[in-house]
Amino acid sequence: MNKILSIRTTRLFIAVFLAMSCCFMNSCKGNIEKETKVKIIPDKHVELILEFTHEDILKELANYSKLENDSIISLFEQALSNTNLENNNFVEEFYMNYLNLGGNPISLFAKNVDYLKGSSFVTQDEAIDLIKREIYINLEDNCKIIRTRLERIGIEGFEINNTEKLGRIQIKMPMVDDLDRVIRLLQSKGNLEFYETYKYHEVVDSLKNLSNYAISISNDTTKSLMTMLGNINDKFYCEVGHVLVSDTAAVNKIINNKIAKEFLPYNLKLHWICSSTGHQDQQSNSITLIAIKTDIDYSPCLTGEVITYAEPYEYKEGGFLVKMFMNNEGAKRWSRITEENIGLPIAIVIDDQVYSYPKISEKFDAGVCEISGIPTAEKAADLANIIESGHMRGRPAIVSKKVINN
């Protein structure tokens, strides 16, 4: 199976080589950005209603996807089910529901609400106001990200307006030749994360135990987890499965079950490679599953917050890549991460899908990394757009879409 998107971490070469390389890359970059912009269709415009649901707003603020404590998750779900999420008072209602169930809402939201961190002296009303303030800031930032993505893809003369319902926005823009592409851009969170990885031999026994347990409760031996994961040739690499597309739902049901935590390492996350970019194995119709290793607090070793900008490029020999440039803090951390993981894969994950997972060959000090192997210029341009514009807090749903004659 061909390796998908890989990082190329290279040292700075001699000045002549750099000058030639930069000249070629900058030329290709300019062409890609120009050629992949959408085309405006005259005499028509589009009205979109996007909604960051109240449920998603609360989950983003609570870092719900990273919660590992079952009792906290249970309290959150109970409080959420008791909250009327259709009105704009959902924050106050959820806060009181969570508190009345015995939870600590200040602790729940403290990681993402600055003034709640380490604070035990705020009143209930103050805490609710701080949470609401953070939500307004997040939604405002989301609008800025949407504006950046639309501008970078070549759309001008658009309007973004808030509606009466908190989290719901209206976009009025010219009609374009590929509206579905624009919608995909607007619905991508763009949550970029870098992770260390487990080797197959380090987790295979845990996976076997989980597989045996799943068989014992289902009495179905024809489709065990290990059977669906298939044969792995490299026991010292981070691939733990090559799964038929038709079996992915069954695998997800097992590995995402709460009981799986009892069998798998506490800091193991299993993520699929990104198949939407055309990098799944077309011959066998399978998708690869990667063993991600989180830090002790279940976080990545680096996030997209350190990326200052991202650009698409074309290889001389064909194919496309996205080059990402880090700030000073990111470059320092990237240098340390690559030094500590020489000979090991580092996974680049966007919105819980793995875009790249190569072995690191050497320490890299320049604060630059790449996602390569991208099949088309359009996909490279859109990926660079998503990465550079930043991480939206929530994935908006498309409530309505109207194409109107001017």
The answer on pLDDT for 113 being more than 50 is yes
The pLDDT score that the predictor gives to residue 12 is: 34
Q: What is the pLDDT of residue 30?
A: 56
- At 230-243, the pLDDT tens digits run 999 888 899 999 99
Q: Tell me the CA distances in angstroms from 398 to 189, 202, 402, one per residue in order.
A: 14, 42, 11
* DSSP per-residue letters across 98-151: HHHTT--HHHHHTTTSGGGTT-----HHHHHHHHHHHHHHHHHHHHHHHHHHHH
Tell me the torsion sign for CA atoms 375, 381, 387, 393.
negative
Instruction: Report pLDDT for 284.
Output: 64
Q: For residue range 376-389, what is the model confidence (pLDDT) as tens digits?
A: 999 999 999 999 99
Averaged pLDDT, 153-175: 95
Q: Where are the domains of the chain?
A: 39-177
Lookup result for tokens 């749903």? 397
Cα–Cα dist 125/269, whole Å: 37
pLDDT of residue 119: 63
* Ranges 26-35, 39-48, 256-265: which has the least confidence: 26-35
pLDDT, average across residues 82-97 = 95
pLDDT greater at residue 8 or residue 193: 193
Local structure of 238: helix, strand or coil: coil
The predicted pLDDT at position 151 comes to 96
pTM for this model (two decimals): 0.86
| Mean pLDDT value across the chain | 88
Using the predicted structure, report yes or no on whether residue 267 has a pLDDT greater than 50.
yes
Cβ atoms of 68 and 266 closer than 8 Å: yes
Both tokens of 346, joined, read 């580092």
pLDDT bucket at 155, cuts 50 / 70 / 90: very high
Contact status, residue 333 vs residue 302, Cβ threshold 8 Å: yes
pLDDT band at 315; cut points 50, 70, 90: confident
Task: Quick: pLDDT tens for 326-340.
Answer: 999 999 999 999 999
Cα–Cα distance for residue pair 169/144, rounded to 1 Å: 12
pLDDT (0 to 100) of residue 253: 94
- Looking at residue 27, its pLDDT comes to 43
pLDDT at 246: 93
